[in-house]
Chains A and B, each alone.
Chain A
Amino acid sequence: MPADPQWIEDALLRWIVFVPLGTALASGLLLAVFRRTLSSSLVVWMSCGSVFASFGLSSLSFAKLVGLFGEVPVDDVPPRVLIDTLYTWVGVGVGNSAFSADLAFRYDALSAVMCLVVTGVGFLIHVYSVGYMRADTRDDGGLQRFFCYLNLFIAAMLVLVLADNLLLMFLGWEGVGLCSYLLIGFWYGDRQNAYAGSKAFIVNRIGDFGFIVGILLLFWSMADAGQPAVSFRAIEAGFGSVASQTLALPGWLGGGEIGLATSIGLCFFLGAVGKSAQLPLFVWLPDAMAGPTPVSALIHAATMVTAGVYMAVRLSFLYEAAPGALVVIAWTGGVTAVFAALLATAQNDIKKVLAYSTISQLGYMFLAVGCGAYAIAIFHLVTHAFFKALLFMGAGAVIVATHHEQDMRRMGGLRKKLKLTYWVMVAGVLAICGFPGFSGFFSKDEILTSVFFAHELPGHVALYWMGVATAGLTAFYMFRLLFLTFHGKTRLPRGRRGELDDPEDTMMWPLQILAVLAVLGGIIGLPQFWGDRIGVAESNSLGHFLASVVRLGEPHALDAGVVAQLVGGVLAASITGFGLAYVLYISRPGLREKLEPVLGVPRRVVARRFYVDELYDAVFVRPLVIFSDRVLSRGIDAGLIDGRLVMGSAHAVRGLAAHVLKHLQSGLAQAYLLLMLAGTVALLAYLVT
């Protein structure tokens, strides 16, 4: 357990949140109430400036945290936590369990990392958006609205990562969901977008249900033990006393008992599954790609979707007491990683490939969490933020350059026209595939190493091989993307072939910065083993930095042989993937047609997303709505939309209401009277007997 930290009051923290929030509110208020559209350059300066200011403040706080201004060197003081308490937000004296929650921000090592990523990458994406939205012909003068939402999102995300207690975190949690919803549906008039936005929001409800129940369960059990608490500090201090309790399962769940920590952990994990698009709640993320590309980069790759990972790490003390929950997390992550990677290989929409890739990489992060390697999960989170934002924005550049072509089958040969875009994309692809020395190499390698050594985890060998397979698949689909888009002959329609060029500079220079980060970002978490080899004294600085918040595992007994084996395995898989992609898409494209009959069935299975939607349909929807033909016929109508789990149950709810309950409300006053009097008689019978 980390040493008791030194708490420092710092009233500057609130401004990290308030600056972007204030900008968003001011611009929104002007727009909605006073109907003032500001000039686009003012909007741009305001919103980018506010995020940059927030980044500056975060950096300043970071400096304070590591004691840059301090008198004493870092190593000699206990780890510091900056805290900024505004006032008591919620406080109830409930029976024996009076508790209160402050509106307070907390800046410790974990928040610092998240905060810097959110504001730093967020700033770059803001700048990029300026160019992107300007280039977008669909834009109907909604620039101010767009940046208003974007800033609001940054503010909500910062609340999430800076929150000192679960309630405030939940505020940020819902806030980011809301902004994501607004931004996915940004181009209104397009029913598909509106639908995707609602879907994202509604799928997340299922996760949020888990989150809320987790909070309540935690609160209830802590209050029961006489230690009511909602702030992370207090929970961490008091959780030990309830961790060993058990809950009796109700009869319909088969009875028996479940550990309290495990059940709370699983509830929270359900929240994380929704937010971070893991199996089975991943269906919303690919659809969310309907939004503008900067939104995909910011929200659906770099920041919001990692909130689930952040939460799991934030609550690591809880998961430490719940090994059962960790097993579920690890397996969910591992299966999702390989599953989503498989799906990514069958996509033709460039953004969808990246969306499934994101799901897959998030699976890696949860795999790390499940192994108890929290710092490594955060390490991968950071590097992933760099290279996935880069890839999305690169894809956005391609989309803008080709005038909104997203289908890779109609691209090709763009290498010569979009030179800069090509090279930054290459950097991103190499980073995600784990090219030795690139950021993704170290983080992925670390995750697989921890899985390999996680002996306490049931089936860790299988998980390890799933991770390796995912690495191979990742290399395959990423190079497939690269080859289809940039290599070979152009397949663009003739009309669009003229004057293809890299987009304007405001879009390109964030890409270049991110490319540098994607290549070199691994340094912050350089593993000890590699540090020793290249003579860096202080390696794994991220891990040491996070040690004040999470438990670091024992260093693995690594020797050159084991490392060679581990790295070799991953590299071999990746090279296989690359080679396959190269053969199929560059050197022998004809082979694909020949393979088609052989691969037909599995390929079709993958292309139909493993028939997940159909499975949901069969398992959840049809039994529920069997009594209603209309919904049934809707359910069979596969052309409609995918993601039947959620929309299917929505339909089931609708069906139940529309076809059964509705008939109670017949419009006949006497029928109402009858029910009312029947209710009265029932009441009477119940009370009197």
Chain B
Amino acid sequence: MSFEMFLFYAFAFLAVFSAVAMIGFVRHIVAAAMSLVVTMVSLAGIYVLMHAELIAAIQILVYAGAIVVLFLFVIMLLDLRDGGLGPAARGQNLVKAVGVGGTVTIGTLVVASVSGVFSVNPLVESLPEGFGEHRALGIALFTDYALAVELVGLVLLASIVGAVILAKRKID
């Protein structure tokens, strides 16, 4: 097993573990947010392994940096007690969780095995110079995908206006 592979599995384990922790067994909502951060960061690690360095950086900046902080702000703002998770999960939930998780997983597996989901093209071994780095991706973004960038701008504008109008304390 190469070092790369080892890193991948380590990150993968971390990501899955903390994801399960987030939805499963943390006691406090801040802990849930922290688990999410761990997942995000692990994914960033995997991105690096996939030659997507810029994405990895942005993943950490935006997700771990901005989004989770936003969650934390709201949590603080609400001043939640009892860990903020409300009443402990009832047995019913467990049944549901097992049922849903099982169904979906089995469904996915069945689909995968029956149809050979994973039969995609082999990986390209020799990547061009500087693949996935900020320069190459930046050029792509502002040439081929310029329109998409503009659109993302509009999406962000819309979300800001929407969030403000909904969350502002007093609007009259």
Contact = CB atoms under 8 A, between A and B. Distances in A.
A688 B115 contact: yes
B114 A688 contact: yes
B104 A685 contact: no
B103 interface: yes
Contacts of A39: none
Which one of B111, B114, B115 has the highest number of Cβ atoms from chain A below 10 Å of its Cβ? B111
B139 interface: no
A405 B95 CA distance: 68
Interface residues of A, number: 8
User: Is chain B's binding surface mostly helix, strand, loop or mixed?
Assistant: helix
A677 B114 contact: no
B100 A684 contact: no
A72 interface: no
B110 A685 contact: yes
Contacts, number: 18
B27 to A, nearest CB: 21
Nearest to B107: A681
Contact of A674 (B100, B107, B114): B100
A678 B115 CA distance: 20
Interface string B60-72: 0000000000000
Contacts of A681: 103-104, 107
A684 B107 contact: yes
Interface residues of B, number: 9
Contacts of A674: 96, 100
A621 to B, nearest CB: 37
User: Is chain A's binding surface mostly helix, strand, loop or mixed?
Assistant: helix
Contacts of A6: none
A88 interface: no
A666 to B, nearest CB: 14
Contacts of A685: 107, 110-111
A565 interface: no
Contact of B104 (A677, A688, A689): A677
Interface string B93-109: 00010001001100100
A674 B100 CA distance: 8
A399 to B, nearest CB: 62
Interface in B93-151: 96, 100, 103-104, 107, 110-111, 114-115
Nearest to B111: A688
Interface string A658-682: 0000000000000000100110010
Which one of A674, A678, A688 has the highest number of Cβ atoms from chain B below 10 Å of its Cβ? A688
Nearest to A673: B100
Interface string B75-96: 0000000000000000000001
Interface in A478-517: none
Contacts of A689: 114-115
18 contacts: A674-B96, A674-B100, A677-B100, A677-B104, A678-B103, A681-B103, A681-B104, A681-B107, A684-B107, A684-B111, A685-B107, A685-B110, A685-B111, A688-B111, A688-B114, A688-B115, A689-B114, A689-B115
Interface of A: 674, 677-678, 681, 684-685, 688-689
Given A678-B103, A689-B114, 16 more contacts: A674-B96, A674-B100, A677-B100, A677-B104, A681-B103, A681-B104, A681-B107, A684-B107, A684-B111, A685-B107, A685-B110, A685-B111, A688-B111, A688-B114, A688-B115, A689-B115
